[in-house]
Chains A and B, each alone.
Chain A
């Protein structure tokens, strides 16, 4: 007979989708726990969407509300477009994490609380009145509360090891990760492999983390408190090979892919800034692709070094966030004036000024479209999801190189750090990118034998049918020429102050950028009827929330369609006609109405705004309610 007490058999319940929020101190390893569990679910075949949300301070005062870091994950056996409006499960490592996030938990939701984080000191730091402990005072009776002493159980698991108490406590997140994997019937294999890679060189830590991970898993099995496990079956996603990807990874990979397809060296000049720095980190790990990364002395040098690299025949790229883009403004004008390829990525954050560095916002659209002196129209495109970051940065490179112009790509903190499954392409299927190189000539000495055409002076600002000038790179024979930020004569590029010439050049540069719209694919609805009562026009990272809301409204029988713009300037030519086919237009934005204003100016359309400027993404419910209100008005 078995001498070990057999755990009570557990029931397994199926769930279509689950929203789980991990929260704790910013030093608790919450981001790691969240991203590892995401990866396990994605590999299992669930659709996933994530929302990491953390304070700007690296280690804000422990135990306080200011220091709470969160990682929200939505995974399902059905399509998932957002990290979820409300949570099913809230995992909190201390009382501050509970206090900061309880409002996000649905009624009847599950709380898993580390009881050690609810001692007198932590309760006081979180601002609970003396003698009140939510874990014991009944205030959480509307939820399913599991109070687990994670700290103690972690220490127990590591009894007998030589690690100090502090080091032991650092593995607490592994206990949680192990337990959650048990709760959702996931295997620990992938997480174990990750830990082995991370701690391979430190056997003691490797051993400790594996032990605690397993202890967390076993706790689920043996504890009497937990009677039910859940199962979320794989989502019915299109056939293909998938991986998980964040927006910033998508940008880094997309840049390398585009540079390779264009046959150009990739030069990335950048200055560290939240939330764009991960692009620099990712690119600097990929030098074997010939990538050159340059951590410049400031934002201005970052863009200027990229301009210099493009002048030298490479693909010059820089990225930043709003405050850094402000500093790059003058150089953007130079790149526009020189007509050299340049990609500028703005991973937007809350502004103005330093604003909310780790929070998300879409308030730099006007900056991108208008933020330069003089007449300097620059194409502006926007990514709508983590995987779309790959697509759109590829598009940015293609437009920049083939049209000899700087291009601004707008991303934001929400999709930059958020992850989702990506059905990645094969290199051979990526669209070609063709740089308009000038043809080198014979040198002066050899020119006796060269053709008549070659004896004509080289014209660096002569244009092809798309208004694009040739790209002559230093080192190319016979094409020496001078370029600059000062107004230039048509075709020759020599300095010119002639009034007629200036107006001509302003027009030629603007026309070139306008013609880019001819290369766009036709505009397409994301969902809904081709004409009807309401069109919701979105752009950027609001995609998932708008899509979810639009699909629900359509299911409810409302005449609502959704279009999501990728080209912010110049607009897709089909947008004008599309807007006319609906009675009302709603533009949800995480700003005070910047796209709405641009559309009103361009199309004289009475577009209504739904505006949220809280540093937080929309919930789909907010959009659904606003749409309903507009339909009823």
Chain B
């Protein structure tokens, strides 16, 4: 499948909404999955129609982090791993803008791992797009914290000895209030995920499987290619049963253990299937664990969609509420009273 085929899908409402592209030439490698993501983000921005000046993109370092330069919004391309902290400060003083954070698996799961988990526990209102390509692209091909064990890369010629992160399990562990997964090669679904991401108040974590065709081509092909996609992916939707393989198979929960059941053979019926509930944190913690290596026999399918949503208060609402409460209790700060302090003496 080529990138060209994704561009055939028209951006909805594109013609009658402002153009969100900047005047800068996009400089990702030809065929990079980032193009598709950029296109869908622009499409979602246009659909929402929010004025350009009310949108801010903040990124770290890495291929994905060049993203802000390509949009005619406000943007900051910052330093490696620190976008969550920068975005948190920004959001603290700007409660009404639409703030997006662009990051990659190296940027936010390795060098910026600490900031990411604290961002999630605080629940700062941001849309986080984590481009996961399981490789360091901009430094030319070292293994990343999401590369599978045994991954051959420039820095692991004999295979990686490190166990990889399960990004969404990590995020759920940090009490994220919104976690979802999409992929560059399914633009329609990706757009839907971006809309959900944008709509959630709090830190929305959208992991996007993104193909690095130069250094890690085909890392997700089992999930993205027509021949294998149906058997290895499951698109979860709220209140709907977990069905895959074109409706012939489903996931059943046996106690806490998920297993594949065959609907075609009559082994199980629709009533036996796990019904997805986005609000159920316990089930979400099982869902994020559907993380089998697709090459293994009897591997569970990899889920895509919105895994979990929770409406916990955001960091900045509490912060602003405290400021308001302090003003209500003590009155607006009087600078002269502050300078004076409590114990004054006068020399006349």
**Contact of B89 (CB < 8 Å), options: A257, A304, A483:** A304
Given contacts A243-B343, A244-B343, A297-B118, contact A480 B72 (CB under 8 A): yes
Stretch in contact with the other chain, from B80-88, B156-164, B185-193, B279-287? B80-88
Q: Within the complex, what minimum Cβ distance (angstroms) separates A80 from chain B?
A: 15
Given contacts A292-B92, A301-B118, contact A485 B340 (CB under 8 A): no
Q: Output the residue of B76, B118, B344 with the most chain A CB within 10 A.
A: B76
User: Could you mark each residue 212-224 of chain A with 1 if its beta carbon is under 8 Å from any beta carbon of chain B, else 0?
Assistant: 0000000000000
Please tell me if the beta carbons of A308 and B332 are within 8 angstroms of each other in the complex.
no
A296: nearest chain-B partner, CB-CB: B85
User: Could you mark each residue 261-299 of chain A with 1 if its beta carbon is under 8 Å from any beta carbon of chain B, else 0?
Assistant: 000010101000000000000000011111110101110
Interface presence of B226 (CB below 8 A):
no
User: What residues of chain A lie closer than 8 Å to B265, measured between beta carbons?
Assistant: none
Stretch in contact with the other chain, from B52-60, B140-148, B253-261, B306-314? B52-60
**Which residues B313-348 have CB closer than 8 A to chain A?**
319, 322-323, 325-327, 329-333, 335-336, 338-348
Stretch in contact with the other chain, from A106-114, A330-338, A398-406, A524-532? A330-338
Given contacts A300-B85, A307-B86, contact A486 B346 (CB under 8 A): no
**Which residues B40-57 have CB closer than 8 A to chain A?**
51-54, 56
Interface presence of B289 (CB below 8 A):
no
User: What residues of chain A lie closer than 8 Å to B92, measured between beta carbons?
Assistant: 267, 292, 294, 305, 308-309, 312
Number of A positions contacting B (CB below 8 A):
77
Q: Within the complex, what minimum Cβ distance (angstroms) separates B113 from chain A?
A: 11
Please tell me if the beta carbons of A309 and B339 are within 8 angstroms of each other in the complex.
no
Please tell me if the beta carbons of A475 and B97 are within 8 angstroms of each other in the complex.
yes
Interface presence of A91 (CB below 8 A):
no
Q: Within the complex, what minimum Cβ distance (angstroms) separates A485 from chain B?
A: 5
User: What residues of chain A lie closer than 8 Å to B214, measured between beta carbons?
Assistant: none
**Which residues A91-150 have CB closer than 8 A to chain B?**
none
User: What residues of chain A lie closer than 8 Å to B348, measured between beta carbons?
Assistant: 239
User: What residues of chain A lie closer than 8 Å to B96, measured between beta carbons?
Assistant: 475
User: What residues of chain B lie closer than 8 Å to A480, measured between beta carbons?
Assistant: 52-53, 72-75
Q: Whole-angstrom distance between the alpha carbons of A476 and B90 in the complex?
A: 15
User: What residues of chain B lie closer than 8 Å to A595, measured between beta carbons?
Assistant: none
Q: Within the complex, what minimum Cβ distance (angstroms) separates A560 from chain B?
A: 30
Q: Whole-angstrom distance between the alpha carbons of A485 and B118 in the complex?
A: 23
User: What residues of chain A lie closer than 8 Å to B79, measured between beta carbons?
Assistant: 304, 330-331, 333-334, 485
Q: Whole-angstrom distance between the alpha carbons of A42 and B341 in the complex?
A: 14
Please tell me if the beta carbons of B97 and A242 are within 8 angstroms of each other in the complex.
no
Please tell me if the beta carbons of A265 and B340 are within 8 angstroms of each other in the complex.
no
Please tell me if the beta carbons of A45 and B77 are within 8 angstroms of each other in the complex.
no
A445: nearest chain-B partner, CB-CB: B18
User: What residues of chain B lie closer than 8 Å to A260, measured between beta carbons?
Assistant: 333, 335
Q: Whole-angstrom distance between the alpha carbons of A485 and B86 in the complex?
A: 13
Q: Within the complex, what minimum Cβ distance (angstroms) separates A8 from chain B?
A: 33
Q: Output the residue of B24, B68, B74, B89 with the most chain A CB within 10 A.
A: B89
Stretch in contact with the other chain, from A202-210, A424-432, A506-514, A581-589? A424-432
Please tell me if the beta carbons of B339 and A494 are within 8 angstroms of each other in the complex.
no
Q: Within the complex, what minimum Cβ distance (angstroms) separates A42 from chain B?
A: 7
Please tell me if the beta carbons of B341 and A483 are within 8 angstroms of each other in the complex.
no
Q: Whole-angstrom distance between the alpha carbons of A239 and B348 in the complex?
A: 5
**Contact of A241 (CB < 8 Å), options: B22, B73, B333, B340:** B340
Please tell me if the beta carbons of A483 and B75 are within 8 angstroms of each other in the complex.
yes
Please tell me if the beta carbons of A474 and B74 are within 8 angstroms of each other in the complex.
yes
Interface presence of B115 (CB below 8 A):
yes
Interface presence of A52 (CB below 8 A):
no
Q: Within the complex, what minimum Cβ distance (angstroms) separates A446 from chain B?
A: 11
Please tell me if the beta carbons of B89 and A269 are within 8 angstroms of each other in the complex.
yes
User: What residues of chain B lie closer than 8 Å to A485, measured between beta carbons?
Assistant: 77-79
Given contacts A267-B93, A424-B339, A485-B78, contact A294 B331 (CB under 8 A): no
User: What residues of chain B lie closer than 8 Å to A44, measured between beta carbons?
Assistant: 345
Interface presence of A256 (CB below 8 A):
yes
User: What residues of chain B lie closer than 8 Å to A294, measured between beta carbons?
Assistant: 88-89, 92, 319
Interface presence of A237 (CB below 8 A):
yes
Q: Within the complex, what minimum Cβ distance (angstroms) separates A461 from chain B?
A: 14
B52: nearest chain-A partner, CB-CB: A480
B329: nearest chain-A partner, CB-CB: A288
User: What residues of chain B lie closer than 8 Å to A265, measured between beta carbons?
Assistant: 93
User: What residues of chain B lie closer than 8 Å to A43, measured between beta carbons?
Assistant: 343, 345
Interface presence of A439 (CB below 8 A):
no
B56: nearest chain-A partner, CB-CB: A474
User: What residues of chain A lie closer than 8 Å to B323, measured between beta carbons?
Assistant: 287-288, 290-292
A44: nearest chain-B partner, CB-CB: B345
**Contact of B93 (CB < 8 Å), options: A241, A257, A309, A478:** A309
State the B residues within 8 Å of A (CB).
Answer: 18, 22-24, 51-54, 56, 58, 68-69, 72-79, 82, 84-94, 96-97, 114-115, 118, 319, 322-323, 325-327, 329-333, 335-336, 338-348
State the A residues within 8 Å of B (CB).
Answer: 39, 42-45, 190, 234, 237-245, 253, 256-257, 260, 265, 267, 269, 286-292, 294, 296-298, 300-302, 304-314, 316, 330-331, 333-334, 338, 424-427, 443-445, 457, 474-486, 494-495
Closest CB pairs A-B (n = 7): A308-B89, A484-B77, A289-B333, A305-B89, A304-B85, A287-B326, A301-B85
29 CB-based A-B contacts, threshold 8 Å? A39-B343, A45-B347, A240-B347, A241-B344, A241-B346, A242-B346, A243-B342, A245-B341, A269-B89, A286-B333, A288-B332, A290-B333, A292-B93, A301-B115, A301-B118, A304-B79, A304-B89, A308-B85, A308-B91, A309-B89, A311-B76, A312-B93, A334-B79, A424-B340, A424-B341, A475-B94, A481-B74, A482-B77, A484-B69
